[in-house]
Amino acid sequence: MAFDSNTVSFERFMLADDRDEYPMAFWLTTEFSGNFQQAVFEQALLKALGRHPLLRSRIEGARLSQSRWIESVESMPFVDFGLKGVPKRYPAGQGARIDLRRENGLRIWVRTSENGISMSFQFHHACCDALGAMQFLEDLFTGYDHYAHARVGSPPLKALSQSLHSTRADFGLSWPEKFWRFPIDVVGVLVGLGVFFCIRPVPIAASQTVSKGDVGPSDKCPELITHTFDESIFTKLQQVARLQKVTLNDIAISDLFCVLRAWNERQKAGSGSPVLRIMVPMSLREANLEQMPAMNYVGMVHLDRRGSRMKSARTLLEGVSWEMRFLKLLRLDISFSRCWKFLAMVPGGQRMMIPLGRCCATTVLSNFGRAFEGCALQRRNGRIVLGDMVLQSITGAPPIRPWVRATFTLTSYAERLTLAMHYDRTCLTRADAVAILQSYAKRFVANVDTILPLEEAFQSTVHTPTLSPT
């Protein structure tokens, strides 16, 4: 049966905030060593798409509230094969925005050379989130490995349940759960909207040297800036998090506050004690939803900090950790979708949620987690092997918005941690973007250089007293 489903509130938010200059799409980029087989890739791609209906569907309906997903007559998305060095550009006649009324919500670029293969994937955010995209890639890579070795039968893909598409509207909450959550949702909507609209954060300060020459052709795909920590640093960072009884995500959030505050102060942006706001996507998948196909199943929370509250790095980290635990405990990440659903019923409410003339968030920090942690493919030195290729790295970044001039991502793979930055080339030069990411990476390393020596020194001064016999 062909796929046919109403859009849900969070998907309609993604569609409403989709713009030509600032598409509501995110990127995943992969680097391989080995030899690439195009025919095998296309066969595996069709197999993977058959398991993820939203990636082979388009939008129909005159109004957002009446829009529907309808399976496309053309399952294959835009795929551009070329040699390394050939610029990655959008489809002819199309721009950066994926118009879901005209094309499927996935674009792929493959570039090959004697030294390796790079693949870039652009996903419309209404179709899926990062974890859904990772599931799709796992299916694609598993299929590629199967067909590359000319194995008979279907690839050994993880079972997926198409019936889980129906949980998108209420995030799988049962009626009893909805009942006891009702007071939390009411407070979350009222308080969340009040804070979101009454407290005005500042954006990342624009570069003082940006020029039109830095932007480049409008049909050229963005390039992510990345920094990868080796295995030893990643292990030590996890050790630092355990010693301080926080998560690596908590450290990443508090460090990003400090980095952006320092950047804005150097650019002399804002007066007084401006507020910085970091939006944090949070997966709403529970343990019983492991068989979920690719879809957008995330909530959003935001953390605000004034410059005056960032004097002490330790105090900042403790505050961020406490706030994140509180938000997770009450699952307040669901409230973002509830806010959109509520405002969509109010005349003009959608325009309030998508303001054009002011900043509603400074940046977005997304943790993609451990990529392909449960993947059944064979590994070589911790890296998955598919056919004659070895996946060397993977990273990605959320979309940028009119006032969100850069977004950041953490991805761990093969016991390495990668920071990635997607930046607005009309506001920041590449050199300034690199400087920001380097400052961010140095803050991570500073945690290792500062906390671990102190802990080791403390442990060396602790002696178990010897009790003398009486």
Helix (H) or strand (E) holding 146: helix 130-148
Question: What amino acid occupies position 298?
Answer: V
Calculate the alpha carbon distances from 145 to 83, 108, 139, 141, 252 in Å: 22, 19, 10, 6, 35
Q: State residue 267's pLDDT score.
A: 86
pLDDT of the residue at 97: 94
Q: What integer pLDDT is reported at residue 164 of this predicted model?
A: 87
Low-confidence residues of the chain: pLDDT under 50: 457-470
Mean pLDDT across the chain, nearest whole number?
Answer: 87
Residues in contact with 215: Cβ distance below 8 Å, sequence separation at least 6, in sequence order:
425, 426
| pLDDT single digits (tens) 184-233 | 777 777 777 777 778 889 999 998 777 655 665 666 788 899 999 999 99
Backbone φ, ψ for residue 417 (5° rounding): -110, 130
pLDDT at 464: 39
- What per-residue confidence (pLDDT) applies to 254? 95
d(CA 60, CA 93): 21
pLDDT at 286: 82
**What is the reported pLDDT for 168?**
85
pLDDT of 216: 59
For the stretch 321-343, pLDDT in tens is 999 999 888 888 887 777 777 77
Dihedral sign (CA 325, 205, 24, 11):
positive
SS3 1: coil
